[in-house]
Chain A
């Protein structure tokens, strides 16, 4: 008998708005110590899609100060501008249009419209309004939303290219609080579903993938780990492990034990 060797197992790419990606981990660029750490952690994560925020320039600052887009080059990554900090559809739409100008016409955006600054919970009424305007204006909209399957269905029907329910509150690290809802959204959706927000550690990311999500978007879990680079690596492996576990199909749960070694032939038989 020949010795078996490790084989590479096939998977389909993650396809978002007609573009294929090998990595199913998407990362943010906030809360890092500096741009060097940002760039290193993101490289370590293997992410191909990287989200960033749009803000007023600091007037009077040194014009030669380093720029985020020097660390996260648009040539290397698919940049995903987000509307973090927007509380109305109008502000979110303005922000997306500014981002499109900033990135020379790039039209993939992460829409998030928040309800209040205590929970940062999505305001779905404003989110739906903003999505409608952005889609009519030619944007590809990945949308941050609640874990409500009916809202998710509505956003998909409007034409959003990815549905991104929260696992738990942004920056909370509380993991996936309602896995049953996430699974309902996964089961009904034809566009990719990504858990966005709430991931605290590697097992949370693996859980999202085991639920059948197409990807995970996270930021703080890496940026605020004691060692961001190591956590970036952990998240990469967790997303891959969770994805493989989902594709493999888990064993059925049983109420009682079932021995892995055969009963027959025991020396005490």
Chain B
């Protein structure tokens, strides 16, 4: 079984039952300085492992880049 989410504005297919922490790991971003937002709400790092993704979620994963 799989679910469809929007990840950084793009459609993305995931196995059912995965958490935000699983997604971050799949993206190879574990331990990196990133921030996660689901449906326009921040998901604190401490809650990544407890936050299950569901079909239709809008997920943003951001990081710091150069800017003025």
CB-CB < 8 A to A63: which residues of B? 27-29, 32
CB of B22 within 8 Å of the partner chain: no
| Total count of chain B residues near the partner, CB < 8 A | 26
Max chain B Cβ within 10 angstroms of own Cβ: one of A38, A57, A94: A57
B62/A31 in contact, CB under 8 A: no
State how many angstroms separate the Cβ of A259 from the closest Cβ of chain B.
46
CB of B49 within 8 Å of the partner chain: no
Interface residues of B in 29-68 (CB under 8 A from A): 29, 32-37, 40, 42, 44-45, 60-68
B67/A51 in contact, CB under 8 A: yes
B27/A68 in contact, CB under 8 A: no
CB of A122 within 8 Å of the partner chain: no
A101/B66 in contact, CB under 8 A: no
B8/A59 in contact, CB under 8 A: yes
On whether A68 and B37 interact (CB within 8 A), knowing A59-B8, A63-B32, the answer reads: no
A67/B33 in contact, CB under 8 A: yes
User: What's the interface size class on A, roughly?
Assistant: 35 or more
A101/B42 in contact, CB under 8 A: yes
CB of A219 within 8 Å of the partner chain: yes
CB-contact partner of A57 in B40, B45, B63, B68, under 8 A: B63
A81/B42 in contact, CB under 8 A: no
State how many angstroms separate the Cβ of A5 from the closest Cβ of chain B.
40
On whether A97 and B42 interact (CB within 8 A), knowing A53-B65, A56-B9, A68-B65, the answer reads: yes
B64/A57 in contact, CB under 8 A: no
CB-contact partner of B66 in A38, A57, A100, under 8 A: A38
CB of A82 within 8 Å of the partner chain: yes
Closest A residue, CB atoms, query B36 = A101
B68/A101 in contact, CB under 8 A: no
CB-CB < 8 A to B10: which residues of A? 59
CB-CB < 8 A to B3: which residues of A? none
CB-CB < 8 A to A79: which residues of B? 64
B37/A31 in contact, CB under 8 A: no
CB-CB < 8 A to A69: which residues of B? 33, 64
CB of B7 within 8 Å of the partner chain: yes
State how many angstroms separate the Cβ of B51 from the closest Cβ of chain A.
13
CA distance A63 to B29 in the complex (A): 6
Interface residues of A in 200-240 (CB under 8 A from B): 217-220
On whether A98 and B35 interact (CB within 8 A), knowing A57-B61, A170-B68, the answer reads: yes
State how many angstroms separate the Cβ of A162 from the closest Cβ of chain B.
16
A101/B45 in contact, CB under 8 A: yes
On whether A67 and B32 interact (CB within 8 A), knowing A28-B68, A32-B66, A52-B65, the answer reads: yes
A-B contact pairs, 16 of them (CB 8 A): A30-B66, A30-B67, A51-B67, A52-B65, A53-B65, A54-B62, A57-B8, A67-B32, A68-B63, A68-B64, A68-B65, A69-B64, A81-B64, A85-B67, A100-B42, A102-B64
Q: Show the binding face of B for A, using Cβ within 8 Å.
A: 7-10, 27-29, 32-37, 40, 42, 44-45, 60-68
